[in-house]
Amino acid sequence: MPAVVVVGAQWGDEAKGKVVDCLAQDADMVVRYGGGSNAGHTVRFDGHEFKLHLVPSGIFRPRVTNIIASGVVVDPQVLVEEIRSLQAQGVAVDNLRISASAHVVMPYHRLLDALEEKQRGSAQIGTTCRGIGPAYADKAARKGIRMADLRQPDRFAEALRRALEEKSRLLKMVYETDCPTFEDIWREYKSYAEILRPMITDTDPLVYHAVKSGQRVVFEGAQGTLLDLDHGTYPYVTSSHPVAGGACVGTGIGPTYIDAVIGVAKAYTTRVGSGAFPTELTNETGNYLRERGREYGTTTGRPRRCGWLDTVVLRYSAQVNGLTAFAMTLLDVLSGLDTVQICRAYRLPNGETIEQFPSDSAVLDRCEPVYEQLPGWKEEIADVRSWEDLPAEAKRYVQRVEELTGTPVAMVSVGPLRTQTFWRHGVSADAPVRSLQALARR
Ligand code: IMP
């Protein structure tokens, strides 16, 4: 039962979409387990580029069942748009299923997200304003609307009426803003329900049956470990659980069914939105990484903050996710630099050096990175297709990351295309899911 979780090992945007797309060739099922349309997963192949927010990255493989599981918050407007755009580009979505237990992002969630951000003033989180926080808040407060409600007109009307009683008062009295009317939302959401209804089902048994019967299942994470509500840099986090444990909670699968956990990490670090970022570079090198890595948000278009690779973050990520391997992406972006730096520890203002990621964001704010300097490489490596053909300095860089994290780098990506990928540590390009399982057992 090879079941592999793909998790973001940093602050999101690690190119998980590409990694999941590569694994999907050897998978029967891809299950998106958390987050919502705040995510932006880019998949490129055969001259096409697709940007996915909610649809799992296995959608391009017709024999793969793709599931949006109960841990996801679904904005039907975004999902319907995404489905239409895929269909217009010739991608069939017959193999897509949506959990009836997934919560629905409503127009008032998007409104509240923007208003709450504004109210935070200088303490803004820098959310994507996609309504994610307010939707998860309603879920936790046990007053959310689920896909099971959306598919039944009477149930949806009742749930919407109840929700609007509270939300319209809240918007008016606290934010002096009008709430969209029942009629407007009803009309809009009824049209989404008609399109999505055939795909909405109880997905837990589908996933359970798949793992139980030995099918190859890939659990697709969204965002990254450091954005996790419990384990990230709170309060500058998202409202879901991107960590590997989220794959169990968000799909209804017990932890004993997971065989391998792959942490996707860029060869450097980026972050969008506010919050501590010890290795951030606000200089020419930061700009170099941003431009070469095309570091602008898929969902919001915002320029991403860029910095050196932080192995304190990666060790923490290996710890909280139980990583069995890393996939290192965007290694090609580092070409052309005389030297490259890797953060191996933090220094506190009192001079003390720590190697463990601090759980308190206020402490992290005061941490200075302790760097190791390695020689860079001048050669462009986008055409390299095997470990052996990498420049010696690039190999040294990857190996040093393995030493500092105690975790093998099983996949290296040197560009956005499927073909710009090679595998290591005995992982086969033709059967990556099965061989990642074998690597995890070693
Ligand atoms: P929210 O998820 O929209 O509530 O945003 C909370 C924080 O998570 C903000 O700092 C966002 O920039 C960040 N964030 C949310 N989704 C992503 C993502 O897919 N990639 C990177 N950062 C994200």
**CATH of residue 119:** 1.10.300.10
Q: How confident is the model at residue 31 (pLDDT cuts 50, 70, 90)?
A: very high
Q: Which atom of ligand 1 is nearest to the CA of 274?
A: 10
Report, as residue numbers or ranges, the catalytic residues: 13, 41
pLDDT in tens, 153-171: 999 999 999 999 999 999 9
Domains: count for the chain? 2
Asked if residue 128 is part of any domain, the answer here is yes
Q: What is the pLDDT of residue 115?
A: 97
Domain of 71, CATH number, reads: 3.90.170.10
pLDDT in tens, 345-402: 999 999 999 999 999 999 999 999 999 999 999 999 999 999 999 999 999 999 999 9
Same domain, 293 and 244: yes
Residue 154: CB atoms within 10 Å: 8
- The rounded percent of the chain whose pLDDT value lies above 90 is 95
Residue 378 structure tokens: 């001048």
Same domain, 110 and 208: no
Q: Which of 307, 318, 104 is nearest to 190 (CA)?
A: 104
Domain boundary among 161, 179, 199: 199
Same domain, 252 and 373: yes
109-123, 147-161, 266-280, 292-306, range with the lowest pLDDT: 292-306
Q: What is the pLDDT of residue 357?
A: 97
Same domain, 215 and 71: yes
Centre of ligand 1 to C-alpha 21, Å, is 22
Asked if residue 295 is part of any domain, the answer here is yes
Centre of ligand 1 to C-alpha 211, Å, is 30
Same domain, 229 and 306: yes
Same domain, 206 and 334: yes
Using alpha carbons only, what angle is made at residue 92 by residues 13 and 421, rounded to the nearest 5 degrees? 40
Whether 82 contacts 44, CB under 8 Å: no
Displacement of CA 56 from its chain's centroid (Å): 11
Asked if residue 313 is part of any domain, the answer here is yes
Whether 82 contacts 120, CB under 8 Å: no
Asked if residue 96 is part of any domain, the answer here is no
Asked if residue 377 is part of any domain, the answer here is yes
Q: Is 116 in the pocket of ligand 1 (CB under 6 A)?
A: no
Residue 146 to residue 100: CA distance in whole angstroms: 7
Q: Is 421 in the pocket of ligand 1 (CB under 6 A)?
A: no
Q: Is 36 in the pocket of ligand 1 (CB under 6 A)?
A: no
- Whose alpha carbon is nearest atom 1 of ligand 1? 127
Residues of the domain holding 162: 103-199
Q: What is the pLDDT of residue 65?
A: 98
- DSSP assignment of 4-18 equals EEEEESSSS-S-HHH
Whether residue 32 is predicted with pLDDT greater than 80 in this model: the reply is yes
Q: Is 203 in the pocket of ligand 1 (CB under 6 A)?
A: no
pLDDT in tens, 164-209: 999 999 999 999 999 999 999 999 999 999 999 999 999 999 999 9
Whether residue 245 is predicted with pLDDT greater than 80 in this model: the reply is yes
Centre of ligand 1 to C-alpha 311, Å, is 21
Phi-psi region of 294 (alpha: psi -120 to 50; beta: other; left: phi over 0): left
Same domain, 299 and 161: no
pLDDT in tens, 57-104: 999 999 999 999 999 999 999 999 999 999 999 999 999 999 999 999
Amino acid at 193: A
Cis peptide before 2 (omega within 30 of 0): no
What global pTM score does this model have?
0.97
Strand 48-52 relative to strand 41-45, pairing: antiparallel
Same domain, 224 and 195: no
Across the range 291-303, mean pLDDT stands at 90
Provide the mean pLDDT of the chain: 96
Same domain, 207 and 348: yes
Q: Is 130 in the pocket of ligand 1 (CB under 6 A)?
A: yes
Asked if residue 92 is part of any domain, the answer here is no
Same domain, 421 and 288: yes
Centre of ligand 1 to C-alpha 103, Å, is 18
Residue 85: CB atoms within 10 Å: 14
Q: What is the pLDDT of residue 127?
A: 95
Asked if residue 55 is part of any domain, the answer here is yes
Q: What is the pLDDT of residue 1?
A: 64
Mutate to test the pocket of ligand 1, among 75, 272, 299 (most ligand atoms within 8 A of CB): 272
Burial of 403 (0-12, 13-18, 19+ CB in 10 A): exposed
Residue 208 structure tokens: 């359970």
Q: What is the pLDDT of residue 298?
A: 79
Residue 401 to residue 282: CA distance in whole angstroms: 23
Asked if residue 434 is part of any domain, the answer here is yes
Same domain, 124 and 229: no
Same domain, 170 and 50: no
